[in-house]
Amino acid sequence: MSRPIRILGIDPGLRCAGWGLIEVSSGRLTFVESGTIKPETSQALADRLADLHKALQQLIERLAPDMAAVEETFVNSNPRAALTLGQARGVCLAAPAIAGVPVAEYPANTIKKSVVGVGHAGKEQVQAMIRVLLPMSGKQGADAADALAVAICHAHHAEFTHRRSA
């Protein structure tokens, strides 16, 4: 029997970035750990981005994921907020890549469709399905639940890709 594949899901954010680690073995999903990273909002942008990177780097070292997946951000009506979120997303993409962990990206609608079955599901629906799909995860905050949904989406897509190439 092969060892489980560990997938780190990341929901980018500069105020609150969610992360969640699952294991996949023989098509079975298992919750490992999840949480949020909250850089101090009173700091300068560069320091907040550095804190986000350092926290992700420490998580990656401790959790040793085999792969990572990051949610793509949608266009925000506020250009400044969109730019700031884009910078945080860049850190969330770079941290695993720098550590040698392969990174995939998925649009929010694809993630929601993979987990809930509907591309425009609300946060409450995502949280409820996370409790169904990963019962050991317990009640998750929105950002951690979104990150677990990203990891589940990648597990579904990676599994599909693996079956097609087998």
Catalytic residues: 11, 71, 143
Distance CA(96)–CA(99), nearest Å, equals 5
User: For the chain, where are the alpha helices, taking DSSP H only?
Assistant: 45-63, 79-98, 108-115, 123-133, 142-165
Measured CA to CA in angstroms, residue 29 lies from 7, 51, 70, 130 at distances of 10, 30, 18, 11
